[in-house]
Each structure stands twice: as C-alpha cells, then as structure tokens.
Amino acid sequence: MSCERTFVMLKPGTLERRLVGRILERLENCCLKIIALKLMRIPRDLAEEHYAEHRGKDFYPPLIDYITSSPVIVMVIEGENSIAKVRKIAGATNPMEALPGTIRGDFALTTKKNVIHASDSLESAQREINLFFKEEELIDYEVPNEKWIR
C-alpha cells in the first residue's frame, strides 16, 4: 500500500444535474483527502491534451465536445492506494456495466456522459495533476482520522 495522489474530474453532467455533493460525499467516505479542488471551464487544447491517448478514436471528438461543453470540477485526491480506490468507486466506463453502488453505476446514463474521470495509473495521475494544477495549488494538511487508516 502506498499514499498516492490521483486526479479526478467531475464532468459537465455532474454540475448540471446537481450531483456534486453526492459524489464528493462518496469520495470523502472512503478516507480519501481532497488536497486541491477547483471549478473551471476546460479550454479545448487542454481537453485534447488530457485525453491525448484517445486521439484518432471515433469517440474522441464528441468526448472533447462534452468535457468542454460546460464547467467541470477538478481535484487532486490523496490517500492509500487512491488511484485504484477511486477507479473502483467510479465504476466501469460503460454505466451499463458499472455495478450499483459505484458512482457511474448509480449516476451515469451513457458511456459518453459518464459523470466522472479518474486517473488510471501512477503515470497518468502525475501527468494529469501537472496539466491542471500548479504545485502551490496542492495543499497538505492533517485529518483527524489519519492515525486510524495507516
């Protein structure tokens, strides 16, 4: 187990459907610590860079259109095994395959508009955090339950 940082984005549908509170609550419940958070409209070039691995795929243009269509919330989340943990809490990419109890399983309606993004590896997490945040925007602090989870 290791204390890692992961990058999470609540996609446009989350704000428009007023799901922010319910989704943040699930992340907090899992002993994950938010160390950076901001509301933003993603410029197209940043969206294209973020999803660069999917360039050339048929779903790439609509994916970029979607995540630039309205504001998102971006976050850095820290915790033991946070990368795998948040991917598990987020659920499968296709909401039809996402289990009930996962964020996508409970809130997403289509693969294209699946409400949350979470980094899929240590390398992606570092790359995505650097794309969206400056080092000084990451804020370290202690939470009272830390002694129970290590």
Question: Active-site residue among 63, 117, 128, 129?
Answer: 117
- Integer angstrom CA distances of residue 31 from 6, 17, 18, 119, 146: 14, 25, 23, 18, 8
Nearest approach, Cβ of 144 to ligand GTP (angstroms)? 30
Using rule CB under 6 A, residue 102 touches ligand GTP? no
Using rule CB under 6 A, residue 49 touches ligand GTP? no
Q: What is the DSSP letter of 38?
A: E
Among 14, 86, 114, 133, binds ligand GTP (CB under 6 A): 114
Among 78, 84, 106, 112, binds ligand GTP (CB under 6 A): 112
Nearest approach, Cβ of 134 to ligand GTP (angstroms)? 22
Among 93, 121, 130, 145, binds ligand GTP (CB under 6 A): 93
- Integer angstrom CA distances of residue 66 from 17, 43, 49, 58, 111: 14, 12, 15, 14, 11
Measure the N-to-C terminal CA separation of the chain; round to a whole number of Å. 9
Distant-in-sequence, close-in-space partners of 137: CB < 8 Å, separation ≥ 6: 36, 38
Using rule CB under 6 A, residue 59 touches ligand GTP? yes
Taking only Cα atoms into account, the Rg of the chain, rounded to an integer number of angstroms, comes to 15
Is residue 54 flagged as an active site residue? no
Binding site for ligand GTP (CB under 6 A): 54, 59, 63, 93, 111-112, 114, 117-118, 120
Residues serving a catalytic function are: 117
